Amino acid sequence: MKERPSFPARLPHTPSDLEMPHRPMARTSDLLHAAGNAALAVPVKSTMARPLTIGAGISAQDFGAVRRDMVNRLARSGISDATVLAAMGEVERHRFVDSALQGQAYQETSLPIGLGQTISKPGVVARMIELLRRGAPGKLGRVLEIGTGCGYQAAVLSLIATEVYSLERLRGLHDRARENLRTMRLPNVHLLFGDGMLGYPKGAPYAGIIAAAGGEAVPQAWTDQLAVGGRLVAPVAGQQAGHAGQVLIVVEKTPRGLQQTLFEAVHFVPLKSGVA
């Protein structure tokens, strides 16, 4: 029996000036261009009268405006998947960070969420999900997320996949994610506490697997649980690309075996086994 969360969950709907016509997936080389090389996907005028500051009593209107600005910035940086951009504009990132950090929630920066972990930069979340989708015309099927963290990426994934299984090895973060998602209604999100390196075989096979922690190599359990035709996106040690640090790797499972492609450098927390 599949484990499901004990809470209902549905995202509150926001005004849909973020609805965008579908555009074909850009070439990988185009996606790697710097900001300014892509046209704005959502030409929205900001309603902000002043910059956000921590503790300034930010209004819902202000948050909506900076979220739209964030989506425009993502489009300028090369994110071209309309479904990903719409999902990034729908999920309220400020609800997943401490109140003292909410003024920075839509900036292109990672933020601490406790236990030595961080919420990834919006651009990294969008980039990885775009690579996972690879221009799919509709929603992905079942997706496995390794590293729930505060629950933000799981909420975004809920809008681009029919079902999301999200594993977290740190009990404190697992509980925090449940609390963050409690007021949302996301019946297709299942939060699991366990060792992410083992994956979740009960939910396999997965159309997509996405990881928020990087190791020396992709665990065998993940590729075993990936469906034929599925795609895995994760950070791995950059030695595979001949330099220090981490890079993004995309693994595609074909009838003939696994195909791997390395992309840009990233920085994630190390992948660890066990629970804590």
- For residue 98 the two structure tokens come to 């401490």
Residues 130 and 250 in one domain: yes
Q: Does residue 106 lie within any of the structural domains?
A: yes
Phi, psi (rounded to 5 degrees) for 207: -70, -25
- Per residue in 9-36, pLDDT (tens digit) is 444 433 333 333 333 333 333 332 333 3
Q: Are 190 and 223 in contact (CB under 8 A)?
A: no
Residues 150 and 170 in one domain: yes
Q: Does residue 173 lie within any of the structural domains?
A: yes
Residues 166 and 55 in one domain: no
Q: Does residue 198 lie within any of the structural domains?
A: yes
Q: Does residue 6 lie within any of the structural domains?
A: no
Phi-psi region of 143 (alpha: psi -120 to 50; beta: other; left: phi over 0): beta
Residues 140 and 246 in one domain: yes
- Per residue in 52-107, pLDDT (tens digit) is 343 445 666 689 999 999 999 999 999 999 999 999 999 999 999 999 999 999 99
Instruction: Please count the structural domains in the chain.
Output: 2
Residues 97 and 123 in one domain: no
Domain that holds residue 56: 28-112
Per-residue pLDDT at 239 exceeds 70 = no
Q: Which of 2-6, 189-193, 213-217 has the lowest mean pLDDT?
A: 2-6
Residues 152 and 237 in one domain: yes
Q: Does residue 83 lie within any of the structural domains?
A: yes
pLDDT at 273: 96
Of the candidates 96, 112, 128, which is a domain's last residue? 112
Residues 89 and 121 in one domain: no
Q: Does residue 15 lie within any of the structural domains?
A: no
Residues 35 and 93 in one domain: yes
Residues 245 and 179 in one domain: yes
CATH of the domain at 243: 3.40.50.150
Q: Which of 26-35, 78-87, 149-158, 195-204 has the lowest mean pLDDT?
A: 26-35
Report how far residue 174's alpha carbon sits from residue 152's, in angstroms, rounded to the nearest whole number: 12
Of the candidates 84, 112, 140, which is a domain's last residue? 112
DSSP 53-74: -TTS---HHHHHHHHHHHHHHH
Per-residue pLDDT at 253 exceeds 70 = yes
Residues 172 and 258 in one domain: yes
Q: Are 38 and 30 in contact (CB under 8 A)?
A: yes
What is the pTM (predicted TM-score) of this model? Answer: 0.79
Residue 244 binned pLDDT confidence (cut-offs 50, 70, 90): confident
Residues 145 and 90 in one domain: no
Phi, psi (rounded to 5 degrees) for 65: -65, -45
Residues 264 and 146 in one domain: yes
Q: Among all residues, which ones are annotated catalytic?
A: 120
Of the candidates 54, 81, 112, which is a domain's last residue? 112
pLDDT at 134: 92
Q: Does residue 108 lie within any of the structural domains?
A: yes
The CA-based dihedral angle spanning residues 169, 173, 178, 180, taken in that order and rounded to the nearest 10 degrees: -150
Q: Does residue 145 lie within any of the structural domains?
A: yes
Average predicted confidence (pLDDT) for the chain: 83
